Amino acid sequence: MNWEDIYAHAQEWVKEAGNRIRSSFDQTLNIQTKSNPNDLVTNIDKEIEQFFIKKVRGVYPNHKILGEEGFGDDLKSLEGIVWLIDPIDGTMNFIHQQRNFAISLAVYENGIGKIGLIYDVVHDELYHAIRGNGAYLNEKSIPVLKSTTVKESIIALNATWVMENHRIDHNLMIPLVKDARGTRSYGTAALEMVFVATGRVDAYLSMRLSPWDFAAGAVIIEELGGVVTNLRGEKLDFLSQDSLFAANSGLHHSILKEYLKDGKW
Ligand code: 2AM
Ligand code: CA
Ligand code: CA
Ligand code: CA
Protein backbone atom coordinates (compact mmCIF):
# COMPACT_ATOMS: atom_id res chain seq x y z
CA MET A 1 0.00 0.00 0.00
CA ASN A 2 1.39 3.40 -0.95
CA TRP A 3 0.50 5.48 2.10
CA GLU A 4 2.18 8.62 0.78
CA ASP A 5 -0.15 8.42 -2.20
CA ILE A 6 -3.22 8.07 0.02
CA TYR A 7 -1.97 10.97 2.18
CA ALA A 8 -1.53 13.20 -0.90
CA HIS A 9 -4.97 12.32 -2.26
CA ALA A 10 -6.60 12.91 1.13
CA GLN A 11 -5.02 16.36 1.40
CA GLU A 12 -6.04 17.31 -2.13
CA TRP A 13 -9.66 16.19 -1.59
CA VAL A 14 -9.96 17.93 1.78
CA LYS A 15 -8.78 21.20 0.24
CA GLU A 16 -11.23 20.84 -2.64
CA ALA A 17 -14.06 20.08 -0.20
CA GLY A 18 -13.06 23.20 1.75
CA ASN A 19 -13.39 25.29 -1.41
CA ARG A 20 -16.86 23.87 -1.95
CA ILE A 21 -17.88 24.73 1.61
CA ARG A 22 -16.52 28.28 1.25
CA SER A 23 -18.49 28.82 -1.95
CA SER A 24 -21.66 27.59 -0.21
CA PHE A 25 -21.60 30.56 2.19
CA ASP A 26 -23.73 32.75 -0.07
CA GLN A 27 -26.28 30.00 -0.79
CA THR A 28 -29.39 29.37 1.31
CA LEU A 29 -28.90 26.30 3.48
CA ASN A 30 -31.40 23.50 3.67
CA ILE A 31 -31.42 22.60 7.39
CA GLN A 32 -32.94 19.44 8.85
CA THR A 33 -32.92 17.86 12.32
CA LYS A 34 -31.68 14.36 13.16
CA SER A 35 -31.97 12.70 16.61
CA ASN A 36 -33.33 15.81 18.39
CA PRO A 37 -34.20 19.47 17.61
CA ASN A 38 -30.60 20.59 18.32
CA ASP A 39 -28.97 17.84 16.25
CA LEU A 40 -28.72 19.51 12.84
CA VAL A 41 -27.67 18.57 9.33
CA THR A 42 -27.57 20.62 6.13
CA ASN A 43 -27.49 19.85 2.43
CA ILE A 44 -23.79 20.85 2.51
CA ASP A 45 -22.90 18.17 5.12
CA LYS A 46 -24.51 15.61 2.80
CA GLU A 47 -23.00 16.97 -0.42
CA ILE A 48 -19.48 17.07 1.04
CA GLU A 49 -19.72 13.50 2.34
CA GLN A 50 -20.90 12.35 -1.08
CA PHE A 51 -18.04 14.27 -2.71
CA PHE A 52 -15.48 12.36 -0.59
CA ILE A 53 -17.15 9.02 -1.24
CA LYS A 54 -17.02 9.56 -4.99
CA LYS A 55 -13.32 10.50 -4.81
CA VAL A 56 -12.31 7.58 -2.56
CA ARG A 57 -14.30 5.00 -4.53
CA GLY A 58 -12.92 6.35 -7.81
CA VAL A 59 -9.28 5.81 -6.82
CA TYR A 60 -9.49 3.14 -4.08
CA PRO A 61 -12.46 0.90 -4.86
CA ASN A 62 -11.34 -1.67 -2.25
CA HIS A 63 -11.27 0.79 0.65
CA LYS A 64 -14.26 1.13 2.98
CA ILE A 65 -15.88 4.34 4.17
CA LEU A 66 -17.54 5.26 7.46
CA GLY A 67 -19.22 8.65 7.14
CA GLU A 68 -21.44 10.50 9.60
CA GLU A 69 -24.26 11.16 7.15
CA GLY A 70 -24.55 7.49 6.20
CA PHE A 71 -23.61 7.53 2.50
CA GLY A 72 -20.63 5.26 3.11
CA ASP A 73 -20.56 1.57 3.98
CA ASP A 74 -22.42 -0.17 6.76
CA LEU A 75 -19.39 -1.49 8.62
CA LYS A 76 -19.31 -4.36 11.11
CA SER A 77 -15.55 -4.25 11.55
CA LEU A 78 -12.54 -2.06 10.80
CA GLU A 79 -10.74 -4.77 8.85
CA GLY A 80 -8.86 -3.52 5.80
CA ILE A 81 -8.48 0.14 4.95
CA VAL A 82 -11.26 2.37 6.23
CA TRP A 83 -11.80 6.09 5.68
CA LEU A 84 -13.61 7.76 8.61
CA ILE A 85 -15.17 10.97 7.42
CA ASP A 86 -17.00 13.81 9.15
CA PRO A 87 -17.81 16.22 6.30
CA ILE A 88 -18.59 19.07 8.69
CA ASP A 89 -17.73 18.80 12.36
CA GLY A 90 -19.52 21.57 14.21
CA THR A 91 -22.61 21.79 12.01
CA MET A 92 -24.40 24.03 14.51
CA ASN A 93 -21.50 26.50 14.33
CA PHE A 94 -21.45 26.21 10.54
CA ILE A 95 -25.13 27.20 10.44
CA HIS A 96 -25.11 29.90 13.12
CA GLN A 97 -21.60 31.33 12.84
CA GLN A 98 -20.05 30.30 9.49
CA ARG A 99 -16.90 29.52 11.50
CA ASN A 100 -15.69 27.16 14.25
CA PHE A 101 -16.23 24.04 12.17
CA ALA A 102 -13.88 21.67 10.35
CA ILE A 103 -13.64 18.72 8.01
CA SER A 104 -12.33 15.63 9.81
CA LEU A 105 -10.93 12.77 7.78
CA ALA A 106 -8.93 9.76 8.92
CA VAL A 107 -7.62 6.62 7.25
CA TYR A 108 -7.25 3.50 9.40
CA GLU A 109 -5.80 0.08 8.59
CA ASN A 110 -7.18 -2.86 10.60
CA GLY A 111 -8.32 -0.45 13.32
CA ILE A 112 -4.97 1.37 13.58
CA GLY A 113 -4.89 5.09 12.70
CA LYS A 114 -2.51 5.83 9.82
CA ILE A 115 -3.57 9.26 8.57
CA GLY A 116 -5.43 12.11 10.28
CA LEU A 117 -6.52 15.37 8.65
CA ILE A 118 -8.52 18.17 10.23
CA TYR A 119 -9.20 21.16 8.01
CA ASP A 120 -10.25 24.46 9.57
CA VAL A 121 -11.83 25.71 6.35
CA VAL A 122 -12.38 29.35 7.32
CA HIS A 123 -8.78 29.86 8.45
CA ASP A 124 -7.36 27.66 5.65
CA GLU A 125 -5.49 25.69 8.33
CA LEU A 126 -4.89 22.02 7.63
CA TYR A 127 -3.73 19.94 10.58
CA HIS A 128 -2.32 16.66 9.31
CA ALA A 129 -0.36 13.62 10.36
CA ILE A 130 0.75 10.31 8.96
CA ARG A 131 1.74 7.78 11.59
CA GLY A 132 5.41 7.89 12.57
CA ASN A 133 6.12 11.23 10.91
CA GLY A 134 5.00 13.87 13.43
CA ALA A 135 2.12 16.28 12.90
CA TYR A 136 1.85 19.48 10.90
CA LEU A 137 -0.19 22.65 10.68
CA ASN A 138 -0.05 23.45 6.97
CA GLU A 139 3.71 23.12 6.20
CA LYS A 140 4.83 23.77 9.76
CA SER A 141 5.80 20.97 12.11
CA ILE A 142 3.84 21.00 15.41
CA PRO A 143 6.09 20.64 18.50
CA VAL A 144 5.57 17.63 20.76
CA LEU A 145 3.33 18.25 23.77
CA LYS A 146 4.66 19.24 27.18
CA SER A 147 2.92 17.96 30.30
CA THR A 148 0.88 20.42 32.37
CA THR A 149 -0.75 20.36 35.80
CA VAL A 150 -4.49 20.90 36.33
CA LYS A 151 -3.88 24.27 37.99
CA GLU A 152 -2.11 25.65 34.91
CA SER A 153 -4.42 24.03 32.35
CA ILE A 154 -7.25 25.16 30.14
CA ILE A 155 -9.79 22.37 29.75
CA ALA A 156 -12.26 22.16 26.88
CA LEU A 157 -15.63 20.67 27.78
CA ASN A 158 -19.30 21.33 27.28
CA ALA A 159 -21.22 22.94 30.19
CA THR A 160 -23.83 20.16 29.91
CA TRP A 161 -21.41 17.74 31.57
CA VAL A 162 -20.97 19.96 34.63
CA MET A 163 -24.75 20.03 35.20
CA GLU A 164 -26.72 17.00 36.32
CA ASN A 165 -26.83 14.65 33.33
CA HIS A 166 -27.44 10.98 32.65
CA ARG A 167 -23.95 10.10 31.39
CA ILE A 168 -21.58 11.05 34.20
CA ASP A 169 -21.86 12.06 37.87
CA HIS A 170 -21.39 15.82 37.63
CA ASN A 171 -19.78 15.72 41.11
CA LEU A 172 -16.73 14.28 39.33
CA MET A 173 -16.58 17.23 36.94
CA ILE A 174 -17.19 20.14 39.33
CA PRO A 175 -13.84 19.86 41.21
CA LEU A 176 -11.98 19.64 37.89
CA VAL A 177 -13.67 22.79 36.61
CA LYS A 178 -12.91 24.57 39.92
CA ASP A 179 -9.23 23.56 39.97
CA ALA A 180 -8.43 24.24 36.30
CA ARG A 181 -7.06 27.62 35.25
CA GLY A 182 -9.98 27.94 32.84
CA THR A 183 -12.51 26.09 30.72
CA ARG A 184 -13.54 26.57 27.11
CA SER A 185 -16.28 25.16 24.90
CA TYR A 186 -16.04 25.38 21.11
CA GLY A 187 -18.77 23.00 19.88
CA THR A 188 -16.50 21.12 17.47
CA ALA A 189 -14.77 17.97 18.68
CA ALA A 190 -12.32 17.94 15.76
CA LEU A 191 -11.06 21.48 16.40
CA GLU A 192 -11.03 20.91 20.15
CA MET A 193 -8.72 17.95 19.48
CA VAL A 194 -6.34 20.02 17.35
CA PHE A 195 -6.38 22.65 20.08
CA VAL A 196 -5.09 19.91 22.40
CA ALA A 197 -2.52 18.96 19.74
CA THR A 198 -1.23 22.54 19.53
CA GLY A 199 -1.38 23.21 23.29
CA ARG A 200 -4.04 25.94 22.92
CA VAL A 201 -6.04 23.90 25.39
CA ASP A 202 -4.51 21.17 27.54
CA ALA A 203 -7.36 18.64 27.64
CA TYR A 204 -10.68 17.94 25.94
CA LEU A 205 -13.45 15.88 27.57
CA SER A 206 -16.72 14.78 26.00
CA MET A 207 -19.29 12.24 27.16
CA ARG A 208 -20.45 10.90 23.82
CA LEU A 209 -18.90 11.10 20.39
CA SER A 210 -18.70 8.91 17.30
CA PRO A 211 -15.63 7.48 15.53
CA TRP A 212 -15.70 10.13 12.76
CA ASP A 213 -15.53 12.84 15.48
CA PHE A 214 -12.27 11.62 17.01
CA ALA A 215 -10.50 9.28 14.54
CA ALA A 216 -8.41 11.99 12.83
CA GLY A 217 -7.71 13.93 16.03
CA ALA A 218 -6.43 10.76 17.72
CA VAL A 219 -3.77 10.23 15.02
CA ILE A 220 -2.62 13.86 15.27
CA ILE A 221 -2.52 14.01 19.08
CA GLU A 222 -0.75 10.65 19.45
CA GLU A 223 1.95 11.74 16.98
CA LEU A 224 2.72 14.55 19.43
CA GLY A 225 2.92 12.32 22.50
CA GLY A 226 -0.58 13.15 23.76
CA VAL A 227 -3.00 10.52 25.06
CA VAL A 228 -6.48 9.76 23.70
CA THR A 229 -8.85 7.37 25.52
CA ASN A 230 -12.41 7.31 26.74
CA LEU A 231 -13.26 8.89 30.12
CA ARG A 232 -12.46 5.65 31.92
CA GLY A 233 -8.96 5.67 30.48
CA GLU A 234 -9.75 2.78 28.11
CA LYS A 235 -8.68 2.45 24.48
CA LEU A 236 -11.17 3.59 21.84
CA ASP A 237 -12.18 1.05 19.20
CA PHE A 238 -13.05 3.53 16.39
CA LEU A 239 -16.16 1.58 15.41
CA SER A 240 -18.38 2.51 18.39
CA GLN A 241 -19.63 5.65 20.06
CA ASP A 242 -17.76 6.41 23.25
CA SER A 243 -16.79 9.18 25.64
CA LEU A 244 -13.54 10.96 24.87
CA PHE A 245 -10.64 12.22 26.94
CA ALA A 246 -7.67 13.73 25.12
CA ALA A 247 -4.79 15.52 26.84
CA ASN A 248 -1.04 15.88 27.13
CA SER A 249 0.27 12.79 28.86
CA GLY A 250 1.01 14.24 32.33
CA LEU A 251 -2.38 15.93 32.54
CA HIS A 252 -4.19 12.84 31.24
CA HIS A 253 -2.56 10.79 33.97
CA SER A 254 -3.37 13.20 36.81
CA ILE A 255 -6.99 13.93 35.77
CA LEU A 256 -7.70 10.22 35.41
CA LYS A 257 -6.21 9.45 38.82
CA GLU A 258 -7.25 12.47 40.87
CA TYR A 259 -10.65 13.36 39.38
CA LEU A 260 -11.94 10.39 37.37
CA LYS A 261 -11.18 7.71 40.03
CA ASP A 262 -8.94 5.79 37.61
CA GLY A 263 -12.06 5.06 35.57
CA LYS A 264 -13.94 3.45 38.47
CA TRP A 265 -17.11 5.53 38.39
P1 2AM B 1 -21.23 17.37 14.47
O2 2AM B 1 -21.28 18.83 14.40
O3 2AM B 1 -20.45 16.73 13.38
O4 2AM B 1 -22.56 16.71 14.65
C5 2AM B 1 -20.69 19.49 19.47
O6 2AM B 1 -20.47 19.65 20.84
C7 2AM B 1 -19.74 18.41 18.99
O8 2AM B 1 -20.30 17.13 19.30
C9 2AM B 1 -19.53 18.43 17.52
O10 2AM B 1 -18.24 17.94 17.26
C11 2AM B 1 -20.62 17.50 17.03
O12 2AM B 1 -20.34 16.95 15.76
C13 2AM B 1 -20.56 16.42 18.09
N14 2AM B 1 -21.75 15.60 18.23
C15 2AM B 1 -21.73 14.25 18.35
N16 2AM B 1 -22.98 13.77 18.47
C17 2AM B 1 -23.82 14.83 18.42
C18 2AM B 1 -25.25 14.98 18.49
N19 2AM B 1 -26.08 13.95 18.63
N20 2AM B 1 -25.76 16.22 18.39
C21 2AM B 1 -24.95 17.29 18.25
N22 2AM B 1 -23.60 17.20 18.19
C23 2AM B 1 -23.04 16.00 18.27
CA1 CA C 1 -23.93 15.79 13.18
CA1 CA D 1 -18.77 15.52 14.34
CA1 CA E 1 -20.70 16.25 11.18
pLDDT digits (tens, 9 = 90+) for 102-149: 999 999 999 999 999 999 999 999 999 999 999 999 999 999 999 999
- Buried b / exposed e over 51-86, threshold 16 CB at 10 Å, is bbbebbeeebeebbbbbbbebbeeeeebeebbbbbb
On whether both 40 and 122 belong to a single domain, the answer is yes
Closest C-alpha among 219, 251, 37, 58 to residue 132: 219
CB under 8 Å to 96, separation ≥6 — which residues? none
Judged by its nearest atom, the ligand closest to the C-alpha of residue 31 is: 2
The alpha carbon of 65 and the centre of ligand 2 are apart by a number of angstroms equal to 17
Q: What is the ipTM, given to two decimal places?
A: 0.98
On whether both 54 and 167 belong to a single domain, the answer is no
- What is the CATH classification number for the domain harbouring 196? 3.40.190.80
Give the domain range for residue 129.
Answer: 3-141
> Which pLDDT does position 1 carry in this prediction?
80
Domain count, the chain: 2
On whether both 7 and 131 belong to a single domain, the answer is yes
On whether both 134 and 188 belong to a single domain, the answer is no
On whether both 160 and 86 belong to a single domain, the answer is no
Ligand 1 atom 16, closest CA: 209
Decide which of 141, 171, 188 is a domain's last residue: 141
- What is the CATH classification number for the domain harbouring 53? 3.30.540.10
* DSSP 8-state code for residue 39: -
Using CB distances shorter than 6 Å, the residues near ligand 1 are 35, 39, 68, 86, 89-91, 158, 187-189, 209-210, 213
On whether both 75 and 192 belong to a single domain, the answer is no
Q: Where are the beta strands (DSSP E) in the chain?
A: 31-33, 40-42, 64-67, 81-89, 102-109, 112-120, 125-130, 135-137, 140-141, 154-156, 182-184, 203-209, 227-229, 242-247
pTM of full prediction above 0.90 = yes
Instruction: Give the separation between CA 24 and CA 28, rounded to whole angstroms.
Output: 8
